[in-house]
Structure 1
Amino acid sequence: MSEAYEELVERAAALDAADELAKLRELFVLDDGVVYLDGNSLGALPRAVPARVADVITREWGELRIRSWFESGWWTAPERIGERVAPLVGAAPGQVVVGDSTSVNVLKAVVGAVRLAHTEGAVAARVVAPPSGVAPSGVAPSGTAPPPRAVGAPVRDEVLVDAETFPTDGYIAASAARLTGCRLRAVPAADLAAEVGPRTAVVLVNHVDYLTGRLRDLPGLTEAVHAAGAYVVWDLCHSAGALPVALDAHDVDFAVGCTYKFLNGGPGSPAYLYVAERHQAAFDSPLPGWNSHTDPFGMRPEYEAADGSARGRVGTPDILSMLALETALDVWEGVSMQAVRAKSLMLMDFFLACVEAYVPDGRVTSLTPAAHDERGSQVSLRCEGPGEAGEVMRELIARGVVGDFRPPDVLRFGFTPLYVSFADVHRAARVLGTVLA
Structure 2
Amino acid sequence: MTPPTDHLAAAHTLDATDPLAAYRLGFAGIDDGSSDIVAYLDGNSLGRPTRASIERINRFLVEGWGGRLIRGWDEQWMQLPFTIGDAIGANVVGAAAGQTFVGDSTTVILYKLARAAVDARPGRTEIVLDTDNFPTDRYVLDGIARERGLTLRWIEADTSGGVSPEQVAAVVGPQTALVVLSHVAYRSGFLADAPAITRVAHAAGALVLWDLCHSAGSVPTDLDDWGVDLAVGCTYKYLNGGPGSPAFGYVRAELQSEIAQPIQGWMGASDVFAMGPAYRPAEGIRRFVSGTPAIVGMLAMQDTIAMIAECGMPAVRAKSVALTEFALAMSDDVLAPLGVSVASPRDPERRGGHVTLNHPAMREVTALLWERDVIPDYRDPHGLRIGLSPLSTSFEETFRGLSAVRDALQELT
What is the CA–CA distance in structure 1 between the aligned matches of 2:46 and 2:251, rounded to whole Å? 25
Residues 1:77 and 2:45 aligned together: no
Residues 1:68 and 2:72 aligned together: yes
Say whether the 8 Å CA contact 1:162–1:186 is kept in structure 2: yes
Number of the residue aligned with 1:410:
383
Of 347, 359, 369, the match for 1:396: 369
Deviation at 1:313, TM superposition (A): 0.3
Deviation at 1:351, TM superposition (A): 1.0
Alignment of 1:268-307 (within 5 A): 268-307=244-283
Of 312, 321, 324, the match for 1:348: 324
Residues 1:56 and 2:60 aligned together: yes
Say whether the 8 Å CA contact 1:290–1:296 is kept in structure 2: yes
Report the AA paired with residue 349 of structure 1.
Answer: E
Number of the residue aligned with 1:96:
100
Number of the residue aligned with 2:408:
435
Alignment of 1:254-269 (within 5 A): 254-269=230-245
Deviation at 1:38, TM superposition (A): 0.3
What is the CA–CA distance in structure 1 between the aligned matches of 2:320 and 2:275, rounded to whole Å? 49
Deviation at 1:328, TM superposition (A): 4.1
Residues 1:112 and 2:80 aligned together: no
What is the CA–CA distance in structure 2 between the aligned matches of 1:242 and 1:378, rounded to whole Å? 9
Report the AA paired with residue 298 of structure 2.
Answer: M
Number of the residue aligned with 1:212:
188
Number of the residue aligned with 1:168:
136
Alignment of 1:337-376 (within 5 A): 337-359=313-335, 361-376=337-352
Report the AA paired with residue 397 of structure 1.
Answer: W
Deviation at 1:179, TM superposition (A): 2.9
Alignment of 1:188-203 (within 5 A): 188=156, 189-190=163-164, 191-203=167-179
Number of the residue aligned with 1:330:
306
Number of the residue aligned with 1:14:
13
TM-score (norm 1): 0.87
Say whether the 8 Å CA contact 1:363–1:436 is kept in structure 2: no
- More divergent stretch after superposition (269-278 vs 353-362): 353-362
Say whether the 8 Å CA contact 1:96–1:272 is kept in structure 2: yes
What is the CA–CA distance in structure 2 between the aligned matches of 1:332 and 1:322, rounded to whole Å? 16
Deviation at 1:423, TM superposition (A): 1.1
| Uncovered stretches (5+) of structure 1, i.e. residues with no partner | 119-154
Number of the residue aligned with 2:32:
none
Report the AA paired with residue 22 of structure 1.
Answer: A
| Uncovered stretches (5+) of structure 2, i.e. residues with no partner | 30-34, 157-162
> After superposition, what is the alpha-carbon deviation per residue over 1:329-372, rounded to whole angstroms, capped at 9, x for unaligned?
33223122111111111111111111222225252111011111
**Secondary structure of residue in 2 paired with 1:4:** coil
Say whether the 8 Å CA contact 2:77–2:295 is kept in structure 1: yes
What is the CA–CA distance in structure 2 between the aligned matches of 1:241 and 1:330, rounded to whole Å? 11
Number of the residue aligned with 2:44:
40
> After superposition, what is the alpha-carbon deviation per residue over 1:266-305, rounded to whole angstroms, capped at 9, x for unaligned?
0000001100001011120011111010011001111111
- How many aligned positions are there? 395
Number of the residue aligned with 1:4:
4
- More divergent stretch after superposition (222-231 vs 190-199): 190-199
Number of the residue aligned with 2:297:
321
Deviation at 1:26, TM superposition (A): 0.8
What is the CA–CA distance in structure 2 between the aligned matches of 1:408 and 1:194, rounded to whole Å? 27
What is the CA–CA distance in structure 2 between the aligned matches of 1:284 and 1:360, rounded to whole Å? 51
Say whether the 8 Å CA contact 2:125–2:151 is kept in structure 1: yes
